[in-house]
Chain A
Amino acid sequence: MRLLHWLPGRLLSAIVVLLGASILIFAAVRSLPGDFAQIVLGPLSNEEQREQLRQSFGFDRSLPEQYLLWLGNAARGDFGLSLASQQPVLDELASRLPVTALLAGMAMLVTIAIGIPLGVYAGTHASTGRGSAAARIVSTIGISFPEFVLGCLVVFLFSRFDLGLSVGAFTSPTTDFGRGVVSLLLPALVLSVFCVAATARTTRDAVIGVLVEPHIAASVARGEPKGFIIRHHVLRNALIPVLTLTATITAYLLGGAVIVERVFNVPGIGSYLVLALDRRDYTVIQAGVLLATAVFVIASLLIDVLTGLVDPRVSVAKKGRGA
């Protein structure tokens, strides 16, 4: 119920962020060096042909005019045609979205399934030393290894030696979900290494922080067993900083997907955007980056709501500000 007090304001600010992002994206794309007409028609075209092409796509109008036109259409769900393929941008992105969504989803799943238990273990065994030191070393390595290095290493190892999984042979999850998952296993693992390490580290620190709180001492004094205290009182309290990190991880997965898809040759949105950049396919770049921004904004919003549910004090603070 508290949600209703601050959600409208939060939604409004999300829309403002998206609008601001759309302006930035539009300006950035148009200031890229290289002329679309030149790239499409080649060096042998004459100025008249190029002018005609620009006119047919509306590039002869002023930039603000172009922006408003694009925004108006985008608001109605029409992102125009891809300049390169002449197909609707929305269809092109929609056909690739399941691949990237599955990749990011798998990476997120691995992150939660490994990162959080690892962090809880390290946090609850911090005083014993050995487990904690191991966790710290592993997480430091994981955080500092760039995914393109790791990705190339994995691609090399799995294509040079027969290790059970093949790289490069891709099956779309829409045709065969099971094989799709298998073919995305390696990219997802590479993508999740950083996230697992960061999550484990954050969870560990959060757990250590919660363990020294007086209400934990009170549970100990009541004679509660360690496992019981961790399950009921530590996890929920330690979850708050981990949830905040999840927003950052979402952003990372979006960016990391571009690199990992490229390295593993996965036909998702990331690799499609890189291709569109090469081809100066303005409409595709605009729509793709706006999509990524929207995903991030929505994820942040969801995480805010979740944080409010886990920690009642958070939503009260927001309510106070709004009211």
Chain B
Amino acid sequence: MKELTKHYLPIIKALIIPYLFFFFVLFYPIAYFVDTPGGITEVESIISVDYNQDKEITGTISSTYIVSINRPTFFQFMLSSFSDYNYANVIRGTYANYTNEEINQISYLDKETSVNAAVIVAYQKAQDLNQDIIIDYYEKVMVFGKATYLSYYDDIEFGDEFLYLIGDSDQVVDDHTQIGPNTQNASSYEFFFKNSEGETYSRILTKDEETNLFGITLKLYYLVNKDTIFPKYQEQSSNIGGPSGGLLQTLAIYNMLVEEDITKGLKIAGTGTINYDGSVGYIGGVEQKIITAYLNKVDVFFIPFLSETYTYDNYLEALRACEKHGIDPTGWLVPVASFQDALDYLAGLE
């Protein structure tokens, strides 16, 4: 070792500063996000239903993911600028206050609740054709957002269940929509939560003086009752988060439940969240998802189309992305407003 060090010392001396600078570029994070094309994942590899096991599914139904890098390093940021397919911008809104770990927590919470919504919608639809199918679900109000001024910020985790609070006149308030009207007389109230390990805990939350809010966002979810559901389904762990696979998950689960093969041998992909009433919702990263679909040569790509006049409507954004990258959207880019629209489109295919 000594011989090598002695021999290469002039080179080592010359390169030490560029070397350290390169490390800085590799590790220094910046307050941007970078969206890049990702891939498609067959829903069947994540969710399987113990039903119709002999049914032959000739095509595939896949959700589309993109790679979203929050607070990239300088090096990643520079790399992203070399391709038109990538999109980089400053982190804005509530996400600017969240750490990367918290953004991941929200993303996986979204994914988990999205799968539940997909199961509920698909099973309910399949019930119309098969009365043996049973779907039962329950409500759960969970922590979905936290402001920086939230008291006990670190104690309350995303996904923790809101149980109740002790409101004005010592009234127990378990309806999250009634928190406002029942917390008028004081600035601090005791909230009760249940964490992911099933432990109940309480924290006294104080309203922020400036906003007069507690700084916590609660959201109502419907979760599948796995004890009573028929047929049972299995969900594999996944590295991909977010709710944007909801529509395609619904289609794939529905296809596993019904006799007919709705894929008709096609490579079907798409994007869009699914709501409990079967309508679809907007997603982000449209441009990168369109490129991903194009690179993966899908036959059908479903995309939410909810308004002809809204500039940032996903379908209109997709058309702009196609034009920008010279992609012909004819025949494969399919705008949908609901799960039923997607089913109708597939039913209409030869």
A, B assembled together: no
Chain B positions near chain A (C-beta within 8 angstroms): none
Chain A positions near chain B (C-beta within 8 angstroms): none
